[in-house]
């Protein structure tokens, strides 16, 4: 009998609390990024814990992590709320994004990696082209995914891990807005042409040409988001 009991005990392993927190974090982040949790929504720890079948601790730990990423705001004695974006937030995000990408362009061209970059983004570009139907989006999510990879590849090729982490955090907030407003953020034909202009600069190995195309591209997206902000009362 004792032997059977020992065998049963050995069959089970306690759940890793870190894993529970990671899974809880992933669920909450996904719901924020897909706007199933709208900006300004009050986050109820007991309700989420009950819905996910976990204790409050993984939920609390996940919210603290999301707060460091700027996706939620924890206000003492009031609660936790999903963060929105203001006009100044959008301007700051895109200004920093442009600075980082411009630095990445200088690094890539200066180190003779232009051809390597073009190879790295050939597949994302092909997916973006296929995601278009004439001059409109046929599959917006696929297009945005390719767009994100095209820009991320620039920063990855700097081989600067801290810079990449900063850039990734910036993109989280931009992704929130895009997920909610979908194809109202960018014109498909215009966005595709701007991408082609960026690649043309890399083919010519001209940092100034690439950065000029980037400035146009990033400014157009930023200005469209600011227009959307104005239409929705100043916050997204």
| Whole-angstrom Cα Rg for the chain | 22
> Rounded CA gap, 169 and 176, in Å?
11
What was the pLDDT predicted at 6? 45
State whether 97 and 67 are in the same domain. Answer: no
Q: CATH number, domain at 161?
A: 1.20.120.530
- Residue among 109, 125, 129, 111 at smallest CA distance from 204: 109
* pTM score: 0.74
Domain finish residue from 49, 82, 115:
82
- Least confident range of 32-36, 69-73, 107-111, 126-130: 32-36
Q: How large is the average pLDDT for residues 215-230?
A: 86
Domain count, the chain: 2
Which domain does 150 fall in, by range? 87-231
State whether 57 and 93 are in the same domain. Answer: no
Report DSSP letters for 177-222, one per residue.
HHHHHGGGSS-HHHHHHHHHHHHHHHHTT-HHHHHHHHHHHHHHHH
Residue 72's SS3 state is strand
Q: Within a domain: residue 42?
A: yes
The tokens of 23 are what?
A: 């899974």
| Confidence bin at 10 (pLDDT 50/70/90) | very low
DSSP state of 186: S
The tokens of 1 are what?
A: 């009998």
């Amino acid at each position: 009998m004792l032997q059977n009991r020992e065998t049963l005990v050995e069959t089970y392993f306690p759940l890793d609390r870190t894993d529970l927190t990671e899974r809880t974090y992933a669920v909450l982040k996904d719901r924020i990024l897909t706007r199933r949790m709208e900006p300004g929504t009050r986050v109820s720890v007991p309700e989420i814990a009950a819905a996910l079948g976990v204790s409050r601790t993984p939920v609390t730990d996940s919210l603290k992590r999301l707060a460091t990423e700027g996706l939620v705001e924890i206000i003492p004695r009031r609660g936790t709320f999903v963060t929105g974006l203001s006009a100044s937030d959008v301007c700051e995000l895109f200004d920093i994004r442009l600075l980082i990408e411009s630095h990445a362009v200088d690094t890539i061209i200066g180190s003779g990696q232009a051809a390597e970059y073009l190879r790295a983004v050939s597949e994302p570009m092909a997916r973006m082209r296929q995601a278009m139907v004439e001059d409109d989006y046929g599959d917006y999510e696929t297009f945005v995914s390719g767009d994100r990879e095209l820009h991320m590849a620039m920063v990855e090729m700097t081989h600067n891990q801290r810079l990449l982490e900063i850039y990734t955090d910036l993109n989280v907030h931009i992704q929130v807005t895009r997920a909610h407003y979908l194809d109202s953020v960018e014109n498909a034909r215009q966005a595709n042409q701007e991408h082609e202009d960026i690649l043309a600069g890399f083919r010519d190995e001209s940092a100034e040409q690439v950065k000029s195309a980037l400035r146009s591209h990033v400014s157009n997206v930023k200005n469209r988001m600011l227009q959307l902000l104005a239409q929705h009362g100043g916050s997204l």
